[in-house]
Amino acid sequence: MQTSRLPLIATVLFVSAHSAAQTQAPAGALACTQIGDPAARLACYDHSMGAQLPPTQPLSAPADTKAAIDIKQSIEQSQAESTPKVVLTEAPAAPTQPQAFSPLSLAYDLDVNHESSILSVRAHRPLYLLPGWYNSSPNRNPSSPEHTSAIPEQQRQNHVEAKMQISFKTKLLQDLFGTNADLWFGYTQVSHWQVYKGSMSSPFRNTDYEPEIFLTQPVKAALPGGGGLRMLGIGAAHQSNGQSDPLSRSWNRIYAMAGMEWGNLTVVPRLWWRIPEKSDDDDNSNINRYMGYGDLQMYYRFNDRQTLGALARYNPASSKGSLQLNYTFPIAGRLKGYVQAFHGYGESLLDYNHKHNSIGLGVMLNDWDAF
């Protein structure tokens, strides 16, 4: 009988000790109230209550951290061994503090794969609506070497219209070729709407459709000024406005791009080659003269609330190009105010060879501000 009572006695002793420990902490904290110095009083509270705080847990690494190609090491080993070599950096270790990735990394999964993985709809280029878009010189007679236009509806267009863009992408395949490359599909649609026609019909003056497929490769290389090369990519894009002659415009391109960062500044240059078309199918044979052979996108985040972006194109052979400036500012939640200004050629495919100045004000509906 005495042996059977031992577990009961041990249990009572354990509960009593635990209750005593629980009552001591409040008593110690009560004694702290008698201390006049604020710093000493806070230290007393921390000491008396510290034993009751839950233990801190170390942060774990993301499930799919990614290594990038180390360009310098790859070149050096390829030269040393006289054969092509690909050297990967080490995948990111478990962070000790919450990790903040750059806009470029978040857009293209350069450091870690997005939790939604593949075949999910994600932001691509900005999603915006500009209810007021002012055009200094409307293109009332759009033309190209293949087509001349005398469309009454185009000739009656207003200086002020609405402009909107929707854009999304989805990852088709990830972590390819043993180098963590990703394959994407993207789609962008830009519309100009003559909404302020009064009693007349309010048509969509032009809509450009641009599906594309592209491959991104995380890389690592130092750049002057403390910058870094983060990404290389290749892609193919089709862009057209879906209209019939004489307003039909389209072209197909293959492009190469890179992603670079200097602190809060992100720079993405692209070079493209237009896929030749048969003369009977070409609606705009001289489009390269105005749109050039590439573009340069820049994005600067002043803070978490304001950003400035730019998109520039230039053809040195024809001295023609364009510059677009983008500025975002906070309104409420994820909703941002958006100002866009444009100067030059090619603000839309229909206007690829028409020069004008435009400015608009509206809202941006996603977090990805520039690319």
Terminal Cα distance for the chain, rounded: 80
CB 334 within 8 A of CB 91: no
Torsion of CA 257, 350, 327, 165, to 10 degrees: -80
Catalytic residue among 78, 102, 149, 240: 240
Nearest to 338 by CA among 168, 126, 107: 126
CB 247 within 8 A of CB 149: yes
Q: Which residue has the tokens 């500044």?
A: 265
Cα separation, 215 vs 185, whole angstroms? 9
3-class state of residue 37 by DSSP? coil
- Specify whether 240 is catalytic: yes
Cα separation, 355 vs 141, whole angstroms? 13
Cα separation, 243 vs 348, whole angstroms? 13
3-class state of residue 97 by DSSP? coil
CB-CB neighbours of 124 under 10 Å: 21
Catalytic residue among 114, 147, 238, 356: 238
Cα separation, 324 vs 347, whole angstroms? 9
- Radius of gyration, CA atoms only, the chain: 30
The number of helices, as runs of H, and strands, as runs of E, in the chain is 6, 14
Cα separation, 316 vs 91, whole angstroms? 42
3-class state of residue 188 by DSSP? strand
Phi, psi of 221 (to 5 degrees): -160, 140
CB-CB neighbours of 39 under 10 Å: 8
- Specify whether 60 is catalytic: no
Instruction: Enumerate the active-site residues.
Output: 238, 240
